[in-house]
Amino acid sequence: MRERRLTSPPPRKKMKSKEETSWESIRHEELMESDLSIYDDLDFPFYIGYTKFTYRNKAQKKKDDEIEVAMAHYRDRSRNLSVFDAIGAPSIARLCGGTRPLHIDDDDRLELAPLCKLALDKYNAENQCANFVFVDLVKSTRSACAGSMYNMTFQAKDDTHPFNSPHIIFRARVWKRVPGAGPPEVKSCAMKAT
């Protein structure tokens, strides 16, 4: 379970008397979890971390349990998936990073089509007699890494026989760097194994 820290207690307007905030006058080294029990029944999640312990009220414990159940389900569902087939983590978990599926719209297509074409150019150059051209984007996932790593699945066809060439599924990994850090880099491009 991730440790989360909060730097300040809940707003003072929730307090009933000065006695309830007496824990604030206790040195952190001497503070005990029971000193914070005044927050147990708040109707919103609250936690605060100290060197010896992390206090969580009832609402936070309930939320943490819900996150754990959702993440266990996510891990089961995503267990043998490749980066090309990643599924999104549950929103309740509020995870940073990771590989997430893109819900592709027209703007994404405009951004990703040139990356697919770049990957196909590399594939064609490395495989003599290959002359594949991009047809359509099928799906993509993205992870953040000094820019974006796109794991794209797309259709292409052999341009030497443009009228009777079946569409072939390709998978490519292309790193699109942050602006000013250089051009996109094709990490891999290959036909999808059937």
Per residue, the 3-state secondary structure of the chain, as one string, reads CCCCCCCCCCCHHHCCCHHHHHHHHCCHHHCCHHHHHHHCCCCCCCEEECCCCEEECHHHHHHHHHHHHHHHHHHHHHCCCCHHHCCCCCHHHCCCCCCEECCCCHHHHHHHHHHHHHHHHHHHHHCCCCCEEEEEEEEEEEEECCEEEEEEEEEEEECCCCCCCCCEEEEEEEEEECCCCCCCEEEEEEECCC
Q: Which residues contact 81 (CB under 8 A, 6 or more apart)?
A: 87
Cα separation, 46 vs 119, whole angstroms: 48
- Locate 6 and state its tokens: 């909060």
What phi and psi, each to the nearest 5 degrees, are found at residue 169? -85, 130
> Within a 10 A sphere around the Cβ of 78, how many other Cβ atoms?
15
Tell me the HSE value of 99 on the side-chain side, using a 13 A CA sphere. 15
pLDDT digits (tens, 9 = 90+) for 88-106: 777 777 766 678 888 889 9
Distances (CA, A) of 70 to 80, 82, 83, 89, 100: 18, 20, 20, 9, 16
Query: Which residue, chain included where needed, has tokens 């953040």?
Result: 144
Task: Say which residue, 158 or 2, is predicted with more confidence.
Answer: 158
Per-residue pLDDT averaged across 95-122, rounded?
A: 89
Beta-carbon count within 10 A of 95 CB: 15
pLDDT reported for residue 12: 47
Q: Among residues of the chain, what percentage have pLDDT more than 70?
A: 86
Predicted confidence (pLDDT) per residue in 27-63, tens digit: 877 888 888 888 899 999 998 888 888 889 999 999 9
What is the residue type of 146? A
Question: Domains in the chain, please, with CATH?
Answer: 12-80 (no CATH), 106-191 (3.10.450.10)
